Amino acid sequence: MELTRDAVARLVDHTLLKPEATDADVRELVTEATELGVLAVCVSPSMLPLRNTGDLVVAVVAGFPSGKHHSLIKGSEARLAVQQGAAEVDMVIDVGAAVAGDFNAVLADVITVREAMGDTAVLKVIIESAALLASPQGETAVVECCRAAERGGANFVKTSTGFHPAGGASVRAVELMAETVGGRLGVKASGGIRDADTAHAMIEAGATRLGLSGTRAVLDGFPVSS
């Protein structure tokens, strides 16, 4: 598959989630995102509302990065974010529940957030795929979490927060996610994607969205035109 810089840019959530991010950092993020022609920016909910976003989609995280927040807290966080202008919410599941095989708890978590935020905004569900693949449940956990996300009303499944010690996105995780819900839900690969080759591999595996913090370096590895 031949991918151009502009085509890949339209798959990108330009992301800034480091705890020390300042308002000035976020303003710079928005400026750079506009310059690069990406689809969206993704920030922490405390940074809302954003200004001068133009046509950029605004995404925020909920229950981030541990997923150990009570479901009602995640829901409240998501609802407030939507009220403050977020068009997309990336929530983190309770990874421990998934590792333990309690996929009903994962489903309930997703349903709670979806009901709290309403139907107008896009919901992405972060499953922390590297941790799941390393667990006794292995690939089954990835598949079942994707199924729970779909049943709970999500629009996307997402690999990773980028903060878990187990690692970020992998080709195998993206393949599993795409095989399970691809065509019905989007698949977002995020965490550890630092160059064009890795981004290309994720797209080939089935990713329909990329979460990037080093966006410029990744995009610069793609040809300007085919």
Cα distance between residue 45 and residue 82, in whole Å = 10
109 is catalytic: no
188 is catalytic: yes
Among residues 114, 77, 109, 78, which one has the least CA distance to residue 96?
A: 109
Strand partners, 57: 40
Looking at 90, 94, 109, 124, which residue is catalytic? 90
Tell me if 115 sits within 8 A of 107, measured CB to CB: no
Looking at 13, 74, 109, 188, which residue is catalytic? 188
Report DSSP state, residue 225.
Answer: -
Tell me if 135 sits within 8 A of 99, measured CB to CB: yes
- Is residue 209 within a helix (H) or strand (E), and if so which, with residue range? strand 209-212
Cα distance between residue 34 and residue 212, in whole Å = 15
Cα distance between residue 33 and residue 51, in whole Å = 13
68 is catalytic: no
Active site residues per annotation: 90, 158, 188
